[in-house]
Amino acid sequence: MKTIFALMLTAISIFSFAATPVAGDKVSPRIQASLEKEFAGAQYIVWQSLKKDNVYSARFIYNNEQLNAFFDEDGRLLATGRIVTQAALPLMVSKNIRKQYDKYEFRDATEYTRDGETSYLVTLESEKHEMVLQAYGSGSTYIVKKTKKKL
């Protein structure tokens, strides 16, 4: 489970050293067929390889939304993610974040679904720190990553 969340963090990170861009013709036909089956009509597909985990990530547009999908080498869909607005977060998540992290500002959120379970990776920032939380619909959260900003 932790590996998938680490992969998700890698995928949403703009400057990731663990992910390597991959040309579409370098992705196996099985993985490409799986993407087409799950997301028929996906456009602007960009692939990344997370070699050490043998996972491929596709970032693409589907039904006018930016999505991420993670596949293993056999083409099995491991998880999906989509960018969501703060207003789209479940009420309990929003309430809990406002209550516990009131000194932080919302930056972005990604909704991930794996094995029928949905969670959210929410990035918050203050003057001195940036933090990524994992949140569940119940409102429970925990800190996945917290870093000091370089001043």
Q: What is the pLDDT of residue 35?
A: 95
Angle at 125 (CA atoms; ends 94, 133), nearest 5 degrees: 50
Q: Which domain holds residue 124?
A: 85-148
Domains contained in the chain, number:
2
Same domain, 8 and 48: yes
3-state secondary structure of 31: helix
Instruction: Let me know if 85 is exposed, middle or buried by CB neighbors in 10 A (0-12, 13-18, 19+).
Output: exposed
Which of the four pLDDT bands, split at 50, 70 and 90, describes residue 8? low
Average pLDDT, the chain: 84
Between the CA of residue 51 and those of 11, 32, 80, 101, 150, what are the distances in Å? 13, 17, 18, 35, 30
Q: What is the CATH number of the domain that holds 16?
A: 3.10.450
Tens digits of per-residue pLDDT, 86-131? 999 999 999 999 999 999 999 999 999 988 899 999 999 999 999 9
Which of the four pLDDT bands, split at 50, 70 and 90, describes residue 150? confident
In sequence order, the β-bridge partners of residue 84 are: 109
Query: pLDDT at residue 64 above 50?
Result: yes
Same domain, 75 and 112: no
Name the domain boundary from 79, 97, 121: 79
Same domain, 95 and 73: no
Pairing state between β 117-125 and 129-136: antiparallel
